[in-house]
Amino acid sequence: MSNIVKVSEKIENFKKSITVPGDKSLSIRWVLFASLANGTSKAKNLLMSEDVLAALNAVKKLGIKVIINVKECRIFGKGINGYKYKKKLTINAHNSGTLGRLILGLLTNTPYPINLVGDKSLSKRDFRRVTKPLSKFGARFKLTKNNFLPLKIFGSSELKPIKYYENKGSAQCKSSIIFAGMRSNGTTIIKAKKSRNHTELLCKYLRLPISIKNHKNFDEIKINKVKTIKSLNYDIPSDISSSAFFIVLTALSTNSELIIKNVNINPSRTGIITILKKMGVKIFFINPKVYKGEKKADIKVISAKNLKALNCPPHLNSGAIDEFLVIFLVAAKAKGVSYFKDLGELNQKESPRLKWAEKILKKLGVRTITTNNSIKIFGNPNLNLVSDKKIIIKNYLKDHRVFMTSLIAALSFGGKWIIHDKDSINTSFPNFLKIIDNLKKK
């Protein structure tokens, strides 16, 4: 089947309600916590994407039974020390930075060395950010000379608690340290720049020995050795990062309205909502609820009329870190110059995303000034491509968010687009194109 999608028509005038798949961060975390629990955990609406399947395969390799059927996924945990470590074990995280980095925290007590490998994109991403703190616990690592995968972890049976300042605002690092802290004798103390807090909320919900103090610019987390984890049934809410593409599509289209059902709106993930509201988009949370320590709601969006440029305050960055590519499309149509700074972490994602933003915006005819950690976007409220303007996107590291952002640009601004690497969406949002087709139906 062709791996290319062609788009030559804008999408307008839709009034629909959609559901996007389960949240990726919560799905991967559920798999890992359930794999350490005592007894059977069940999840409904677990994201069935390549990243989550990689997580399920990883725990299977560690001797944990997993059953997946249409209605639910079941994991048969054997307790916090229930992994069966074998000689010559290789875990493949494929494209998933979250899986690769989080699972290392749990493998810090392995009696045999374990290999961690990933795909081409993951093998270009920094792992030193986790191997550095995990080494302080007493684990050892062998990485490539660039600090990339493949790596080998040598565990320790006597992990020492650590004090660590996580200064990148990376939830993956913070979570990996929390996991190693759960296996160490004593209290691990993490001072962490703000980032998504699903791991901490799950620890709290499971009544694990964790304490969290929220300060203005950082959180202080203390975690003690965990003896048991009770099984965890979870109905996973939809992913705000997947919703983001449809929020932007609706905002940019004419005369449209969309409701996205049952979305996780954890405040550490809603940066996109704050940013787009500041730019003049009308977005509402309907029927908000708290579920197992996490917030969720339906999200309603309405086509925007007069978009305003934004000098984006950097404290909003971590809550929107996966959404910037698509947020930049809104800036492209806003009146004035938008400025997004302190975003060096964007170049640490599945592909160097600031560079991709510059490329896509250039193809749209939008002027940018890009550095290695910032972008200025000179918006054009009349942005509209002539129908025979040909644009080709070839996404060599197969970054799912580059593919989906390009498709939203095509549907919002017109032109004749040929977008390669459709398969990249399988990592996070396999039915993305089906939902787009559904919006097109009258």
C-beta separation of 258 from 313 below 8 A: no
Cβ distance to ligand S3P smaller for residue 195 or 351: 195
Phi, psi of 397 (to 5 degrees): -95, 10
Question: Does 25 participate in binding ligand S3P (rule CB under 6 A)?
Answer: yes
Q: Nearer to ligand S3P by C-beta: 175 or 243?
A: 175
Q: Is 51 a catalytic residue?
A: no
What letters, b where the CB count within 10 A reaches 16 and e where it falls short, cover 255-265? ebbbbbbbbbb
Place of tokens 């396999």: 430
Tell me the site size for ligand S3P, rule CB under 6 A: 11
Beta carbons within 8 Å of 309's beta carbon, 6+ residues apart: 279, 331, 334, 335, 336, 337, 338, 377, 379
CA distance 354 to 370: 8
Site string for ligand S3P, 338-377 (x = CB under 6 A): -------x--------------------------------
Strand, coil or helix: 110: coil
Binding flag, residue 401, ligand S3P (CB under 6 A)? no
241: tokens are 């990062």
Alpha helices for 183-308 (secondary structure H):
198-205, 240-252, 271-278
Specify whether the CB–CB gap between 254 and 11 falls below 8 A.
no
Query: 96 or 253, CB closer to ligand S3P?
Result: 96
Q: How far apart are CA 78 and CA 76, in angstroms?
A: 7
Per rule CB under 6 A, is residue 317 in the interface with ligand S3P? no
If binding is defined by CB under 6 A, does position 322 make contact with ligand S3P?
yes
State the DSSP H helix or E strand holding residue 378, giving kind and residue range, or none if neither: strand 375-378
Closest residue to bound ligand S3P by CB: 25
Supply the minimum distance, in Å, between the C-beta of residue 127 and ligand S3P: 11
Minimum CB distance to ligand S3P, residue 320 (Å): 10
- Cβ nearer to ligand S3P, comparing 253 with 428: 428
Nearer to ligand S3P, 146 or 185 (CB): 146
Among the listed residues 135, 204, 129, 199, the one whose alpha carbon sits nearest the alpha carbon of residue 170: 129
175 or 188: CB nearest ligand S3P: 175
The single residue of 23, 219, 239, 322 carrying the catalytic annotation is 322
Within 380-399, the residues that bind ligand S3P by CB under 6 A are none
Q: How far is the CB of 66 from ligand S3P (least distance, A)?
A: 20
d(CA 312, CA 114): 42
Minimum distance between the CB of residue 96 and ligand S3P, rounded to whole angstroms?
A: 9
- Find tokens 């996205």 and name the residue: 260
* Three-state DSSP state, 52: helix
For residues 208 and 309, which CB has a smaller minimum distance to ligand S3P in the complex? 208
Q: Interaction with ligand S3P in 131-190: which residues (CB under 6 A)? A: 170-172, 175
CA atoms within 13 A on the CB side of 334: 26
State in angstroms the smallest separation of the CB of 24 from ligand S3P: 7
Residues 97-116 that bind ligand S3P (CB under 6 A): 98
Show contacts with ligand S3P in window 237-296 (CB under 6 A). Answer: none
Q: How far is the CB of 345 from ligand S3P (least distance, A)?
A: 6
Residue 321 in the binding site for ligand S3P (CB under 6 A): yes
Using alpha carbons, select from 307, 367, 377 the residue that is nearest to residue 338: 377
Which are the catalytic amino acids? 322
Contact positions vs ligand S3P (CB under 6 A): 25, 98, 170-172, 175, 195-196, 321-322, 345
